[in-house]
């Protein structure tokens, strides 16, 4: 099973990169399934129905959320009608779900969305929640398990790897928008602390630089804005799973100028 994972898609530039390049990547890399994070897809804040349909039409199979999941009111209905996840460790009774299992080429693949604690909204303990979910999936005989760990703290993401690396196929970090260079396959689990954004690469975490700079200089709040035009990038981690174990992982970057590179290859650690 070959799976692609795209981190935070930020605004129109990110959606445009997915729309223009994902179809070719799916074909060239022979991907069976693509997961992406949607929480910044609609002008940097949440996901609208129009943009959800646009991204699914571009070749994404399921999308995960995070702390901006609820920024658009319509998301509550979309979580019930589309293959969209929100963090599983929101309290009981919150709309939507944090886990879905899919049939992919005669195998089952579970996609799990978890959110960290540090600098995040109030949610249940992510580690206890993740353990319970993996226990339940193992009891159902699901071998292929991919987790989107949406967290600010690198330590939380790394700790989840140490806890679950022999039980899940992949843990892909999202949220900071800044890609890290620690892609690894550790005891059969593909892991990267942060996948990096898909969107503007010449600004501040995909947003126009003016407001963030002013905020750092003065401490005053301001509304972040996604530029309409910028130099953009699509970042996708390509993984191959065999019987629930990752055997290969590498990151591809595609630039708005048309260039493509294999940016990272996983170090295999047993």
CA–CA gap between residue 99 and residue 77 (Å, rounded): 17
Residue pair 252/25 in contact (Cβ under 8 Å)? The answer is yes
pTM, entire model: 0.96
Q: Which residues are catalytic?
A: 68
Residue pair 72/64 in contact (Cβ under 8 Å)? The answer is no
Confidence at residue 60, expressed as pLDDT on a 0 to 100 scale: 98
Give the closest residue to 145 by CA, choosing from 260, 257, 35. 35
The tens place of each residue's pLDDT in the chain, 270 residues long, gives 999 999 999 999 999 999 999 999 999 999 999 999 999 999 999 999 999 999 999 999 999 999 999 999 999 999 999 999 999 999 999 999 999 999 999 999 999 999 999 999 999 999 999 999 999 999 999 999 999 999 999 999 999 999 999 999 999 999 999 999 999 999 999 999 999 999 999 999 999 999 999 999 999 988 899 998 899 999 999 999 999 999 999 999 999 998 999 999 998 887
Could you give all domains of the chain from N- to C-terminal order, each with its CATH number?
Answer: 2-269 (3.60.21.10)
CA–CA gap between residue 138 and residue 116 (Å, rounded): 23
CA–CA gap between residue 256 and residue 21 (Å, rounded): 9
């Amino acid at each position: 099973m070959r799976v692609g994972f795209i981190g935070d898609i930020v605004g129109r530039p990110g959606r445009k990169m997915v729309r223009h390049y994902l179809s070719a990547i799916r074909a060239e890399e022979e991907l069976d399934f693509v997961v992406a994070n949607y929480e910044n897809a609609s002008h940097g804040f949440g996901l609208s129905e129009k943009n959800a349909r646009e991204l699914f039409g571009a070749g994404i199979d399921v999308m995960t959320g995070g702390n901006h999941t609820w920024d658009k009111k319509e998301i509550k209905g979309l979580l019930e009608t589309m293959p969209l996840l929100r963090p599983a460790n929101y309290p009981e009774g919150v709309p939507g779900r944090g886990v879905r299992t899919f049939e992919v080429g005669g195998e089952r693949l579970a996609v799990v969305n978890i959110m960290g604690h540090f600098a995040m909204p109030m949610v249940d303990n992510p580690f206890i929640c993740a353990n319970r979910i993996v226990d339940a999936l193992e009891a159902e005989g699901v071998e292929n398990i991919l987790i989107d760990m949406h967290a600010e703290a690198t330590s939380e993401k790394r700790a989840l790897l140490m806890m679950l690396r022999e039980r899940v196929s992949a843990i892909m970090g999202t949220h900071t928008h800044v890609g890290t260079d620690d892609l690894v396959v550790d005891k059969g689990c593909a892991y990267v602390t942060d996948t990096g954004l898909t969107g503007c690469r010449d600004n501040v975490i995909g947003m126009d630089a003016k407001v963030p700079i002013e905020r750092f200089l003065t401490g005053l709040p301001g509304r972040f804005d996604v530029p309409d035009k910028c130099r953009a990038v699509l970042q996708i981690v390509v993984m191959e799973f065999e019987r629930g174990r990752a055997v290969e992982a590498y990151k591809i970057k595609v630039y708005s100028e048309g260039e493509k590179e294999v940016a990272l290859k996983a170090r295999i650690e047993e």
